[in-house]
Amino acid sequence: MARLALLSTSDKTGIIDLAKSIITEFDYEIISSGGTAKTLKEAGISVTKVSDYTGFPEILGGRVKTLHPRIHGGILARRDLEQHIEDLNANNIRPIDLVVVNLYPFEQTISQPGVTLAEAIEKIDIGGPAMLRASAKNFSHLTVLCNPNQYNSYLEELRKNGGEVSLEFRQKCALAGFKHTATYDQAIATYLQEQETTSEQEKETFLLSGKNIKSLRYGENPHQSATWYQSGIIPSGWAASKILQGKELSYNNLVDLEAARRIITEFSDAPTVAILKHTNPCGIAISETLLEAYEKAFAGDSVSAFGGIVALNKSIDAPTATAMTKTFLECVVAPGCEPEAEEIFQKKSKLRVLISPDLKQSPSETIKVIAGGFLVQAPDDAVESSSDWKVVTEKQPTAEQMEELMFAWKVVKHVKSNAIVVTKNLATAGIGAGQMNRVGAVKIALEQAGEKAIGGVLASDAFFPFDDSVKTAAAAGITAIIQPGGSVRDKDSIAAANELGLVMILTGMRHFLH
């Protein structure tokens, strides 16, 4: 008797060629459901509809098609158990040797704008996952394929092994099937969780899965392996960005690019450029043109900019591209790139240039792995307004100082703590990052700023535990300080600012970045 294959796919890619091959080369008979049966018949392929095979019609508008003992008995039967064979014979059930199933496009549906809950629910596949799981469970006796990319490998197995499929191959396909259903269920659970109207600070279960995009050359260091995964089946974020040119992205490139994305999204109006090194900004500036913004950012720390990452909030023009090709950079990312700028970048063929129109797209949670688990938190994306700030000194800020302080406050948020940022004329002049004490960060930022500190402002990501940093800043020429406040010694820092004629603003919000 001919072997039996069940084909029931949402994605019809390659299904006609697979069906023709297994019939003509390996004497398979095919049963199929709904749209798949229609596709095969239109291609002139002999197929038996599932409803004809089971003797039971598709009902409930197609919600029930393959959920039938003749289907699942044929899938789950163990050929090495006499009782199972007797049950098949007694119920006129044929064993199924091949199951080809992929699922309704749930994630594609929910990614469409304006999709309703009712529309999403109708794209939750029931029969497909049931067949996938049953087939994967019984891989010792049949093969399950859930991705068109597996079809050629399956045919090669049959040709290589005289019409048989190795146990190793079947087990590999079973694993793919379980991964497919796990990812599918996670997408549904995540979507339904997002529909909850109540705000849940703590979730009983956090669902996380990813699709392997590519293996990277190595991780942070050459002795560390690394892989890039895409969350969900619809490319988004960096997986959806367009790479215009350059070498392959590395692990460190991607980590730096994400830090660059977080920074540049703080600035949406005037042309802004951020230059980063090892996830810390080494220069950020706002100006009337993109070229001027780049030149000001580069001047903030031209030494550290070498080999850095540049993020721009406007489409790259030719003058800015020309300026960027004058130094060695690892990556450039922007929402667009003019044709003339593309031609200029081609002179630096190894430079990675990425276009990401939606740089503002950000994850809803941030995740860090720890031994035995991981930590999940909301991103630090609170929108702050200067109207919520508190001026605590006798001296009041000017309008220009308020604009400068807002700029400095947005920057310091993205510097590793302990963090101090000195800015002047809407450009960074000095940055003290990742120091073990705040005084050290202040000294580094002021030393880097040099004379630019005179008339500038200083931002601190957390409160000053003592007044020594205020005095050091004033001695360097700083005129205004912005910090969260919250220290038991805030009064000491405020008193020092008053004594030295500084403006001090407390924001009430800390921005640690570890």
Question: Catalytic residue numbers?
Answer: 137, 278
Residue 302 C-alpha from the chain's centroid: 31
Helix or strand run (H / E) with residue 283: strand 280-286
DSSP string, 209-265: --EEEEEES-SSSTTS-EEEEESSSS--GGGG-EEEESSPPPHHHHHHHHHHHHHHT
DSSP strand pairing (390-391 vs 503-506): antiparallel
> How many angstroms separate the CA atoms of 268 and 260, rounded?
14
> How many angstroms separate the CA atoms of 469 and 481, rounded?
10
What is residue 423's three-state secondary structure? strand
Beta bridge mates, 458: 422, 481
> How many angstroms separate the CA atoms of 279 and 294, rounded?
18
Dihedral sign (CA 447, 452, 454, 456): negative
Instruction: Round the CA-based radius of gyration of the chain to a whole number and report it.
Output: 30
Identify whether the C-beta of residue 96 lies closer than 8 Å to the C-beta of residue 73.
Answer: no
> How many angstroms separate the CA atoms of 311 and 332, rounded?
6
> How many angstroms separate the CA atoms of 80 and 320, rounded?
71
> How many angstroms separate the CA atoms of 363 and 390, rounded?
31
Identify whether the C-beta of residue 386 lies closer than 8 Å to the C-beta of residue 508.
Answer: no
CA angle 318, 322, 326 (to 5 degrees): 165
Identify whether the C-beta of residue 45 lies closer than 8 Å to the C-beta of residue 137.
Answer: no
Q: How far is CA 303 from CA 275, 306, 329, 406, in A?
A: 11, 6, 12, 26
Terminus-to-terminus CA distance in the chain, angstroms?
66
Cβ–Cβ contacts within 10 Å for residue 203, how many? 11
What tokens does 138 get? 């019984």
> How many angstroms separate the CA atoms of 235 and 241, rounded?
9
DSSP strand pairing (329-334 vs 308-312): parallel
> How many angstroms separate the CA atoms of 461 and 355, rounded?
31
Identify whether the C-beta of residue 10 lies closer than 8 Å to the C-beta of residue 105.
Answer: yes
CA angle 426, 428, 430 (to 5 degrees): 150
